[in-house]
Amino acid sequence: MFSSLHDFTGQLERLNDLQQVMAPVNPHLEIAAITRRISSYPKGGPALLFRQPGQFPFPVVTNLFGSRRRVRLALGLDRLEDLTADFTTLLQPLRISGIADLGAQLCNHPELLGCRPVVVPTGPCREACELGFDLLRLPFLQNWPDDGAHSGNGRYISLGQVFTSMPDGSEPNCGIYRCQIHDGHTLAIRWRSTSGAARHHQEYVRRDQRMPLAITLGGPPALTLAAAWPLPEGLDELSFACWLRQATLPVVNCSHGPLRVPAEAELVIEGFAEPDQPLIEGPFGNHTGRYDPAGPAARITVTRITRRDAPLVPATVVGPPPQEDCWMMQGWERLLAALLPRLVPEVRDVRLPVPWVFRQSAVIAIDRQAAARPVREIVQALWGLPWFAKARLLVLVDAGCQSNTLLHTAWCAVNHTDWHDDLIQDESGRRLAIDATCRRLSGEQLSDDPTARLIAQRWKEYGLP
């Protein structure tokens, strides 16, 4: 398994899945526009390595996880479906009655305890220390013209893994949050109110203390994915990344607080989230095709930057699908396919269609034969989970349907739904579910399985593609 971004990009180059751009390109809008165009290719296009990002000294790499193949490669899997099987096995001995203690149960699972991170004295991320560092001298991107317009600086660290913990070092958390650069030594981070980082910061604010944090770029690809996924609260992303890799990973201590970061990261940005005087972050071009409005964010004072001697700077580009982050979420989809049946027993599969993925919207296959309650109650149970609490649309189909394609889902929704009875809307009017399980349809369904098996056996004989 890959332990660093250098290892990963090296393998992508050997597989002809990394395109190097030798021409000078501007990190202000140009790199993002190129990446968006490549990301629109049917299978996601190659990863991109920009050797000359303006006048900046280090190369930029984008679209790293922008295909199903590369997500699978980052996780060391032959098929992403294997992740569902592996996670199902991991969950099997747990007594799951809800999500409240699920993260803690997983942290204490023997398989995770057996492959925790290992502290080492130093590593490649400490090869050089940026003396007189300046964030503005690093090749961070501006993706859209009005990004950061409130403060006048639209450059963001967009694929940084943000490490925080409680003051005593407990409850370590690693998440990916957008980090807006305000000046050479200051960032603004607007973390989600329900995130681990927000909870940690609230505790430091309550104590009127500065919160140590670290932002790493690069490191093990499996950790980048784990940090991007909405894992159960309380599950340590570093430990989970070790389980994903089926191997431990080396970490180094930070000197300014009880934090540990990957020893093989490209860059480590260390500093403090201040307890007062928040900054304004945004606006920011988002998945919806519109700008998120500007709003209050934690003020981060950067105190030190260490790095490899020759680092790569990873970045991701956000915007309307398809983009790299849509492919990254396919790994989470396969974990969710293992987890949901333990929380909502009627569920047999879940799919997160690319156009819907960041609106918590999904196609969910349920077993109506085994259902002990109406579909409306199943929908309510799904809305009660954090991953669907704000779901714009859930489409429930029968477990026998091909829920993995949006085309087939659209066909089911139009042909299997009674619009009078099968639309389920919450009181706020912001969430909608469609019962497309065809429970009332008359007539025999079309099927010719014997002939389908015959032509599958003879297909090569036909000479057809």
Q: Residue 370 domain-assigned?
A: no
Nearest to 422 by CA among 384, 404, 396: 396
Task: State yes or no: pLDDT of 289 exceeds 70.
Answer: yes
Q: Residue 381 domain-assigned?
A: no
CATH of the domain at 210: 2.30.110.10
Q: Residue 300 domain-assigned?
A: yes
Quote the DSSP letter at residue 253: E
Query: How much is the average pLDDT of 61-79?
Result: 96
**In this structure, which long-range contacts are made by residues 15-19, counting pairs with CB atoms below 8 Å and at least 24 apart in sequence?**
15/73, 16/46, 17/46, 17/47, 17/67, 17/69, 17/70, 18/46, 18/47, 18/48, 18/49, 19/46, 19/47, 19/48, 19/49
Q: Residue 198 domain-assigned?
A: yes
Q: So what's the pLDDT on residue 407?
A: 76
User: pLDDT digit string (tens) for 405-452?
Assistant: 777 787 778 887 888 888 899 888 889 999 988 665 556 666 668 888
- Rounded to a whole number of angstroms, the distance between the first and last alpha carbons of the chain is 34
Q: Residue 391 domain-assigned?
A: no
pLDDT confidence bin for 12, thresholds 50/70/90: very high
Mean of per-residue pLDDT scores for the chain: 92
Task: State yes or no: pLDDT of 361 exceeds 60.
Answer: yes
Q: Residue 350 domain-assigned?
A: no
Q: How many domains does the chain have?
A: 1
Q: Residue 77 domain-assigned?
A: yes
Q: How far apart are CA 464 and CA 93, in angstroms?
A: 47
Q: Residue 340 domain-assigned?
A: no
Task: State yes or no: pLDDT of 316 exceeds 90.
Answer: yes
Contact predicate 141/35, CB 8 Å:
no
Q: How far apart are CA 45 and CA 186, in angstroms?
A: 34
Q: So what's the pLDDT on residue 80?
A: 94
Distances (CA, A) of 291 to 36, 144, 187: 16, 9, 19
Give the range of the structural domain holding residue 267, as residue numbers without chain letter: 5-314
Residue-wise over 188-204: b if at least 16 C-beta within 10 A, else e?
A: bbbbeeebbbbbbbeeb
Nearest to 352 by CA among 320, 328, 379: 328
